[in-house]
Amino acid sequence: MDPAVRLASTIADPLVSQLLLPVEATPDNAQTEDELLARLVSFRGAAPPLSYESLLSLAGELVALTASGYRLPPQDETPVAGVLSRTLWIIGELDTTDVQAIRLGPQDFARKLRSTVPGADRELSSDAAWFHDRLLVTVCLHLLHHLIRRSPRLAERMPERAHRIRQLIDLNDVEAVRGRPEPSAIDARFEARYVRSVAEQYNRVTIYGIDLPNPNSPDSWSLDATYLSLSAEFDNPEERTEATPPRPDGDSGEPVLSADRALGGHERVLLRGVAGSGKTTLVQWLAVSTARDALPPELASLRGRIPLVLPVRRFAREGFPAPDDFLSAIRHPLAGEAPDGWAARVLAEERGLLLVDGIDEAPESERTALRGRLRRLMRIYSGNFCLVTARPSAVEPNWLADEGFDELALAPMNRDQVAAFITAWHAAAGDDEGKDHRRLDDYRDRLLASIPLYRELRGLATNPLMCGLICALNRDRSGSLPQGRKELYEAAMEMLLQRRDPERRVLYADAVKLQRGARERLLRKLAYRMLVDRRVELSMDEALAEIARQLPAIPSTSGQGSPEDIFNHLLLRTGLLREQSDHSVEFVHRTVQDYLAAKESVEQGAFDLLLAHAHEAEWEEVIRMAVAHARPGECAKLLGGLLAPGRTGMQRNRRRLLAAACLEHVTELDPDTHSRIRRETRHMVRPTTLEAARSLGWVGPIVLEMLPDPTRVTDREAHRLAVTVTRINDDAAIHYLAQLRNRASLELRAELARGWHNFDTDRYAEEIIGHLDPEGLYFPVSDRFELAALRKLGGRSRVQIVGHFTPDELLEGLAHDQLTHLWLAYDLGVPMGWLASFPQLTTLRVNPRLPRVSGVPDGIRILS
């Protein structure tokens, strides 16, 4: 029997829960065996908490809550309530156990109750009897759901039945909400307050590494003033396999697009990006822009939606929350004021904008359950936009593909974006209380000039996190920058933990006087605690307890104050910790936490712990940094452990590739271990799929030494090798790719052209772009440097515009007598009459996510 009389769980739970004794009050509350329901109900026994009169009143409330929606005549409400109370009363006389009730399910359990009180409804009209029977099924559904929630053993013994009951609850909730004609005035008033709070809460962004001289200076800036639109590309290998030939017009796949606008036309997206690449900032921009109704035309489909930002770190240990727990799970300040069932109603009405940030923040062992809950949510509440973010290797390819999620990968910042970030950083720094504001323009200009000249610097400045760190160190060292990632972080620790206050003459901010060693050691202990506990934040009590536990072992902290004093000193004076509105504590960025935890792991010799988790994506950065910190013998132990037998499949492959990736961080390693890594990973560098080719690229430059001779492979394998090598930002990669440049395969040539933005513009143009056969090939242009380089090569007949340009810039940069095919991935925002300046132009391709173009001259066909 279908529970056609719906009652939302947010309304039903408080009432139905009264039918059962609290867990602590049930006999033998350990509940290791099947329990008779008669012993669990609250209205039977010597002195029952719920009398029959109270049960009758409760039944009356259940009827009253549903009667109006199903046009039950008022005169029938009291008789139906009487029959419902007598039917529920019989639960206390049955010999049915909780396990048997769950196995029966709501329909059969309701049927069993009715059959035990035959004729109870004989005085009801046929419509009232129909209403009673279906309301009884709904009450039984909520009762069984309550049994499962209060006794986990039931779900463990009968996972399929428990899953089905939870699914029925979700379906019931959706239908109950959809039965409401319009959102209530209470909902509307709350939503107005909520979206204002979202716009206020997320319209602040930290430009990492701004070295503030005292705690009264701002630690964040307006998102409006500092937001940088990054680039991204869709990565759906299932849609374009090697057996699928390119289109005749030279379509070489999705172009690199502005990440925020690339979301247009997609309802569900999984966004991948390395640490610090800007995933969270994009989430903030979407939330704020939607809350303010200030979205660009490409994202018009999101207008009017309610942004629900769900940072996974907030509920990583508890599991993905149900809709009605969204706000409380993330500890939103308005959580206690939300109307009952509000979030579920938003989703049921298909008005939600779900922003699930940081799948990698959940332990790998919990991600399957998290995905299951998210998949279930999207199936129940279809029609809502959902963006999920993760680090690249945190989840396997197509992790959510069966739920219709497209995959989008954030691309490294190009030179225009790096320049824009550096400019914004120095503009923001001009508002702090530093004494060097007159020199900021000089620091900015020197840094802008240095990045194209130095390969190591150019390779590091590919995302906002590293760009911010480079800016801060450049300012701190008056233009003298360290080389290498480990050296950058070591210099940052020195700047923030030792030199920051004395050099700014901040000497009396508090009574605690700690040097860098003590500060760093305490921060390392906090980071290590988070690593071991697999968390990215601690409650204030947990942080203070950890500080108190460590203080006796650090003599220099003696007499400096209480654990609270020491903690506040670290929070205010180092710039590495951040306190949330709910007083939980986290590091300013996950990468900082990983760096400090790695150093502490080596200090404690916790190599077995690192090796036990080496195949898990969230431990990769920690292990890389641990190798960089380790002494030669320790380094050999770590790397040897990565190669040790005992793992199979993907775990074994991931550990071996991680060993190869760690070689770039090694300062000293015995030749035998080095040779063993090379030997055991050599067979892994001939990827057989595009997914494997992309994954291989993250290993880094060491892969180039192990790849096969590019002159001795087929075109198909050459294409996969190009996919790998174009993702390795190293001069040697250009040399390898140059050996593929003369092949005829359009798919291979397109991949080589797409890789341009990852390398030095002029050198890549000279050694790769200038040698590619232009037949049928669109040449991508993402910034002004590439536009100028292509012009210097004489122009090309087919050009793909994948960066922000004005018509004037394109008129100046494109070869007028060469251009026959133009592909626009961005909306230029003006009529296209300027294309008349290209007499040979025959075809204009427009990304389908862009608004319709206008003013295109006659004779130019438009493709989308």
In the listed set 347, 380, 410, which residue is the last one of a domain according to the structure?
A: 410
Of 362-366, 612-616, 629-633, where does the model show the most confidence?
629-633
Judged against a pLDDT cut of 90, whether residue 7 lies above it is answered with no
Confidence of residue 24 (pLDDT cuts 50, 70, 90): low
Confidence of residue 524 (pLDDT cuts 50, 70, 90): very high
Q: Which of the two residues, 190 and 71, has the higher pLDDT score?
A: 190
Judged against a pLDDT cut of 60, whether residue 509 lies above it is answered with no
Exposed, middle or buried by CB within 10 Å (0-12, 13-18, 19+), for 22? exposed
Of 225-239, 450-464, 507-521, 572-586, where does the model show the most confidence?
572-586
Judged against a pLDDT cut of 70, whether residue 797 lies above it is answered with yes
Helix then strand count (H, E) for the chain reads 37, 16
**Structural contact between residues 779 and 795, judged by C-beta atoms closer than 8 angstroms:** no
Judged against a pLDDT cut of 80, whether residue 800 lies above it is answered with yes
At 453 the pLDDT is: 64
Judged against a pLDDT cut of 70, whether residue 217 lies above it is answered with no
CB atoms within 10 A of CB 509: 13
279/428 same-domain check: no
At 701 the pLDDT is: 72
Q: Is residue 599 part of a domain?
A: no
How far is the C-alpha of 681 from the C-alpha of 617, rounded, in Å?
A: 19
Judged against a pLDDT cut of 90, whether residue 741 lies above it is answered with yes
pLDDT in tens, 640-651: 888 887 766 667
Judged against a pLDDT cut of 70, whether residue 635 lies above it is answered with yes
401/420 same-domain check: no
Confidence of residue 220 (pLDDT cuts 50, 70, 90): low
21/169 same-domain check: yes
Q: Which of the two residues, 63 and 850, has the higher pLDDT score?
A: 63
Judged against a pLDDT cut of 90, whether residue 39 lies above it is answered with no
Q: Is residue 466 part of a domain?
A: yes
Q: Which of the two residues, 419 and 219, has the higher pLDDT score?
A: 419
Confidence of residue 843 (pLDDT cuts 50, 70, 90): very high
Confidence of residue 391 (pLDDT cuts 50, 70, 90): confident
**DSSP helix/strand/coil, 141:** helix
Q: Is residue 758 part of a domain?
A: no
At 414 the pLDDT is: 76
Q: What is the average pLDDT across 269-290?
A: 87
At 768 the pLDDT is: 95
Rounded to 5°, the CA angle 654-659-660 comes to: 100
Q: Which of the two residues, 98 and 665, has the higher pLDDT score?
A: 98
Euclidean distance between the first and the last CA atom of the chain, given in angstroms as a whole number: 50
Q: What is the average pLDDT across 783-802?
A: 92
Q: What is the average pLDDT across 275-294?
A: 88
232/100 same-domain check: no
Q: How far is CA 858 from CA 425, 680, 816, 847, in A?
A: 45, 61, 17, 20
373/422 same-domain check: no
347/256 same-domain check: yes
At 243 the pLDDT is: 33
Confidence of residue 318 (pLDDT cuts 50, 70, 90): confident
User: In the predicted model, what is the mean pLDDT of the chain?
Assistant: 82
Confidence of residue 250 (pLDDT cuts 50, 70, 90): very low
In the listed set 386, 410, 434, which residue is the last one of a domain according to the structure?
A: 410
Exposed, middle or buried by CB within 10 Å (0-12, 13-18, 19+), for 633? exposed
Residue count (the chain): 864
64/140 same-domain check: yes
Side by side, the strands of the sheet bearing 779-781 are 779-781, 798-801, 821-824, 843-846, 861-863
The H or E element that residue 389 is part of is strand 385-390
At 176 the pLDDT is: 66
Q: Is residue 627 part of a domain?
A: no
- Total of domains in the chain: 4
Q: Is residue 855 part of a domain?
A: yes
Q: Is residue 4 part of a domain?
A: no
At 212 the pLDDT is: 45
In the listed set 178, 211, 237, which residue is the last one of a domain according to the structure?
A: 178
DSSP line for 211-233 = --SSTTS-S-EEHHHH----EEE
Judged against a pLDDT cut of 50, whether residue 743 lies above it is answered with yes
pLDDT in tens, 707-722: 888 989 999 999 999 9
Q: Which of the two residues, 490 and 238, has the higher pLDDT score?
A: 490
pLDDT in tens, 436-472: 788 888 888 888 888 776 666 776 677 787 788 788 8
How far is the C-alpha of 464 from the C-alpha of 75, rounded, in Å?
A: 67
Q: Which of the two residues, 497 and 217, has the higher pLDDT score?
A: 497
Domain range holding 226? 186-410
How far is the C-alpha of 660 from the C-alpha of 680, rounded, in Å?
A: 9
**DSSP helix/strand/coil, 135:** helix
Judged against a pLDDT cut of 90, whether residue 529 lies above it is answered with yes
192/306 same-domain check: yes
**Structural contact between residues 344 and 324, judged by C-beta atoms closer than 8 angstroms:** yes
Both tokens of 483, joined, read 């080389």
Confidence of residue 206 (pLDDT cuts 50, 70, 90): low
Q: Which residues contact 563 (CB under 8 A, 6 or more apart)?
A: 544, 545, 547, 548, 551
pLDDT in tens, 345-355: 898 888 999 99
376/426 same-domain check: no
At 721 the pLDDT is: 93
Q: What is the average pLDDT across 116-132?
A: 85
**Out of 338-347, 450-459, 540-549, which region has the weakest mean confidence (pLDDT)?**
450-459
376/432 same-domain check: no
Judged against a pLDDT cut of 70, whether residue 807 lies above it is answered with yes
Look at strands 257-258 and 231-234 and give their pairing. antiparallel
For tokens 């000249």, the residue is: 453
162/292 same-domain check: no
404/460 same-domain check: no
CATH number of the domain enclosing 350? 3.40.50.300
Both tokens of 785, joined, read 């440097």
Q: Is residue 390 part of a domain?
A: yes
Judged against a pLDDT cut of 60, whether residue 276 lies above it is answered with yes
Judged against a pLDDT cut of 70, whether residue 504 lies above it is answered with no
Confidence of residue 240 (pLDDT cuts 50, 70, 90): very low
Confidence of residue 483 (pLDDT cuts 50, 70, 90): low
Tell me phi and psi for residue 687, to 5 degrees.
-60, 145
Q: Which residues contact 549 (CB under 8 A, 6 or more apart)?
A: none
Q: Is residue 193 part of a domain?
A: yes
Percent pLDDT > 90 in the chain is: 25
Q: What is the average pLDDT across 302-315?
A: 90
At 177 the pLDDT is: 60
For tokens 């130019």, the residue is: 860
For tokens 């070489």, the residue is: 252
pLDDT in tens, 370-387: 888 888 888 888 889 999
**Out of 457-466, 782-791, 832-841, which region has the weakest mean confidence (pLDDT)?**
457-466
At 386 the pLDDT is: 94
Judged against a pLDDT cut of 80, whether residue 699 lies above it is answered with no
Q: Which of the two residues, 75 and 853, has the higher pLDDT score?
A: 75
Confidence of residue 804 (pLDDT cuts 50, 70, 90): confident
